[in-house]
Chains A and B, each alone.
Chain A
């Protein structure tokens, strides 16, 4: 896409078109394909034909972020300063400190930004604020940090309004669609430990089954395996989707309720009535597993706090473990008697 000449040398101009490989890559990272290695080189980029008065937008070198930004900024003339966050998004990188004060100061220096633009204002995404001390940037570099909107989609409006954010632009949101796109992330993280769980179920089946052969092993091990998957879906899919409508504030409590509901449903739809011990196992294990996976979803949200999650884990984890033990024992007893 060529170069833009500046007081500090040539700056690469980037396209604002999103191509099929960009789309495929974006879809891939959500399913865990090269999720942690999706970066573009840090540095200064030009969108359109920016000049010495054009705004400077600061962001991370995560390719998904970069694609989103250049798409939303199509038709505008702006500078894009990407910090080295090692392919991590702005918010997570700010929390880790890689999207940080020191990196911004160094990047301004290394790109010669002071010679590229005549003004001294940087637009930093609001979600980058946990890593950037605006007053220190000003003191060291002379650039004034102006916090921009949370979402890239609001940038055009923000720029048109003379760099003024509306209240809605400044507030974290977590709507239906926001939650939906995160479900693959949960499932990808769950599949490896889940294989282990299924193996454990079959191991327990092999120990408890009387005449060990393939049909008897399958008929013993398959039902709990299927129910485990149901519980996984309760915690990682159903609870996140229904998050605002499931009662309670603790995620584990929400997941346990969904798990219990599905357990009751499973007991009703089963072809033959369950025996007492299996019913106990079902009613304990499904809510416990649902609670566990719902608790895991806290990391995907925009509103849970560290103190809150720590408190929830201290209370919920022992209860989850206890319920699992009760359920497993009941199930095993049912096989032996």
Chain B
């Protein structure tokens, strides 16, 4: 039994040049997206990412970037309308 979401949509970027190999991303990721090999982190399951942003927030080398937010239709719906009222830029979050 596996629960997987859509393929090739995730906005997760890893700059392996900047990576110091501290392994923090492997510790915080709840989906095992990262693995550290020979002192450098790699994306081993990019499609498994749910864009929570934990890796980017906890990367001391600033090597990870992701547009974080919640994968929630209701939150996305609200953000679409908020965008019109407030000029946008707010990423969807739980109410």
Q: Which residues of A contact B (CB under 8 A)?
A: 88, 92, 94-96, 126-127, 129-135, 147, 150, 167, 170-172, 174, 189, 243-245, 249-251, 295-296, 298-313
CA distance A302 to B50 in the complex (A): 8
Nearest Cβ in chain A — how far from B76, in angstroms?
5
Q: Which 6 A-B pairs have the closest CB atoms?
A: A299-B72, A304-B71, A129-B54, A306-B69, A129-B28, A172-B30
CA distance A126 to B94 in the complex (A): 18
A171 CB contacts on chain B under 8 angstroms = 30-32
How many A-B pairs fall under 8 Å by CB? 135
- Report whether A132 and B58 are in contact in the complex, using a CB–CB cutoff of 8 Å: yes
Q: Which residue of A lies closest to B54 (CB)?
A: A129
Q: Judge whether B93 is part of the interface by a CB distance below 8 angstroms.
A: yes
Nearest Cβ in chain A — how far from B23, in angstroms?
11
Q: Which residue of B lies closest to A133 (CB)?
A: B57
Partner of B7, one of A129, A134, A249: A249
22 pairs from A and B in contact (CB 8 Å cutoff): A95-B68, A126-B28, A126-B30, A130-B52, A134-B24, A135-B24, A135-B60, A147-B28, A170-B27, A171-B31, A172-B50, A249-B5, A296-B73, A298-B72, A299-B75, A299-B94, A303-B5, A303-B48, A306-B69, A307-B11, A308-B10, A309-B76
- Contact (A313, B68) CB under 8 Å given A88-B94, A129-B57, A249-B5: no
A303 CB contacts on chain B under 8 angstroms = 3-5, 31, 48, 50, 71
Partner of B92, one of A130, A244, A306: A306
Q: Which residue of B lies closest to A251 (CB)?
A: B73
- Contact (A127, B51) CB under 8 Å given A95-B94, A305-B9, A306-B70: no
CA distance A172 to B58 in the complex (A): 18
Q: Which residue of A lies closest to B2 (CB)?
A: A244
Q: Judge whether B53 is part of the interface by a CB distance below 8 angstroms.
A: yes
Interface residues on B, range: 35 or more
Q: Judge whether B81 is part of the interface by a CB distance below 8 angstroms.
A: no
A172 CB contacts on chain B under 8 angstroms = 30-31, 50
CA distance A95 to B92 in the complex (A): 9
- Contact (A309, B57) CB under 8 Å given A126-B30, A170-B30, A249-B7: no
Between B3, B24, B74, B94, the greatest number of chain A beta carbons within 10 A of the residue's beta carbon is seen for B3
- Contact (A135, B30) CB under 8 Å given A243-B3, A306-B51, A311-B6: no
A299 CB contacts on chain B under 8 angstroms = 70-75, 94
- Report whether A306 and B67 are in contact in the complex, using a CB–CB cutoff of 8 Å: yes
- Report whether A174 and B3 are in contact in the complex, using a CB–CB cutoff of 8 Å: yes
CA distance A304 to B91 in the complex (A): 15
Nearest Cβ in chain A — how far from B36, in angstroms?
14
- Report whether A309 and B4 are in contact in the complex, using a CB–CB cutoff of 8 Å: no
Q: Give the residues from 1 to 51 in chain B that come closer than 8 angstroms, CB to CB, to chain A.
A: 1-7, 9-11, 24, 27-32, 48-51
B72 CB contacts on chain A under 8 angstroms = 298-300, 304, 309
Partner of B58, one of A96, A129, A174: A129
- Report whether A135 and B58 are in contact in the complex, using a CB–CB cutoff of 8 Å: yes
- Contact (A310, B54) CB under 8 Å given A170-B30, A303-B5, A304-B5: no
Nearest Cβ in chain B — how far from A177, in angstroms?
13
Nearest Cβ in chain A — how far from B81, in angstroms?
13
- Report whether B93 and A95 are in contact in the complex, using a CB–CB cutoff of 8 Å: yes
CA distance A189 to B94 in the complex (A): 14
- Report whether B73 and A305 are in contact in the complex, using a CB–CB cutoff of 8 Å: no
B71 CB contacts on chain A under 8 angstroms = 298-299, 301, 303-306, 308-309
